Amino acid sequence: MRTWRVGTFSMGASLLFLGIILLLTQFFSLDLIHVMMSWWPIILVVLGLEILLFLFLSRQEKPFLKYDFLSIFFVGILGTVGIGFAILSSTGILGKMDDVLQREERAMDLPAYEQPISNKVKRVVVNADQYPLTIEGTTENNISMFGTYRALVGKNEKLISKAEDYVSFQEKGDTLYITVKGLPSETAGPFDRFASLNATILIPNHVKLEVNGNNNSITLKPRTLVSNWAVDQASNLSLQIQNTSDVKVTASGVQELDGDRKKWTVTEDPEQQTEEGYTDSTFKHATFQTGKGSHHLQILNTNQISLNMVD
Asked if 155 and 299 sit in the same domain, the reply is yes
* pLDDT tops 80 at residue 146: yes
Predicted confidence at residue 147, as pLDDT, reads 92
Asked if 118 and 90 sit in the same domain, the reply is no
Predicted confidence at residue 88, as pLDDT, reads 61
Last-in-domain residue among 102, 118, 153: 102
Predicted confidence at residue 278, as pLDDT, reads 45
* pLDDT tops 90 at residue 127: yes
Last-in-domain residue among 102, 137, 170: 102
Last-in-domain residue among 77, 102, 127: 102
Asked if 136 and 26 sit in the same domain, the reply is no
Q: Which amino acid is at 19?
A: G
Look up the domain containing 67 and give its range. Answer: 3-102
Q: Which residues share a beta bridge with 137? A: 203
Q: Which of 35-44, 74-83, 179-188 has the highest mean pLDDT?
A: 179-188
Asked if 48 and 144 sit in the same domain, the reply is no
Asked if 156 and 91 sit in the same domain, the reply is no
Asked if 137 and 267 sit in the same domain, the reply is yes
pLDDT band at 157 (very low <50, low <70, confident <90, very high): low
**Residues 74-95: pLDDT tens digits?**
667 766 776 676 666 666 555 5
Provide the mean pLDDT of the chain. Answer: 77
Asked if 19 and 57 sit in the same domain, the reply is yes
Predicted confidence at residue 57, as pLDDT, reads 66
Predicted confidence at residue 277, as pLDDT, reads 47
* pLDDT tops 90 at residue 7: no
The whole-model pTM stands at 0.65
* Percentage of the chain lying above the pLDDT 90 cut: 22
Q: CA 229 to CA 204: how far, in whole Å?
A: 11
**Residues 40-50: pLDDT tens digits?**
677 667 767 77
Note whether 272 and 278 are within 8 A (CB): yes
pLDDT band at 61 (very low <50, low <70, confident <90, very high): low
* pLDDT tops 60 at residue 152: yes
Note whether 177 and 128 are within 8 A (CB): no
Predicted confidence at residue 261, as pLDDT, reads 64
* Percentage of the chain lying above the pLDDT 70 cut: 66
Q: CA 76 to CA 82: how far, in whole Å?
A: 10
Asked if 27 and 116 sit in the same domain, the reply is no
Q: State the DSSP H helix or E strand holding residue 134, giving kind and residue range, or none if neither.
A: strand 133-138
Q: CA 216 to CA 130: how far, in whole Å?
A: 5
Asked if 93 and 117 sit in the same domain, the reply is no
Asked if 77 and 128 sit in the same domain, the reply is no
Q: Which residues share a beta bridge with 115? A: 143
Asked if 268 and 123 sit in the same domain, the reply is yes
Predicted confidence at residue 268, as pLDDT, reads 67
**Residues 272-308: pLDDT tens digits?**
444 444 444 556 788 888 888 889 999 998 888 988 8
CA 124 to chain centroid, in Å, comes to: 26
Stronger pLDDT, 220 or 67, i.e. the higher one? 220
Pick from 96-105, 134-143, 224-233, 282-291: least confident: 96-105
**What is the domain count for the chain?**
2
Q: CA 79 to CA 73: how far, in whole Å?
A: 10
* pLDDT tops 80 at residue 33: no
Asked if 206 and 280 sit in the same domain, the reply is yes
**Residues 190-244: pLDDT tens digits?**
556 677 889 999 999 889 999 999 999 999 998 888 899 999 999 999 988 888 8
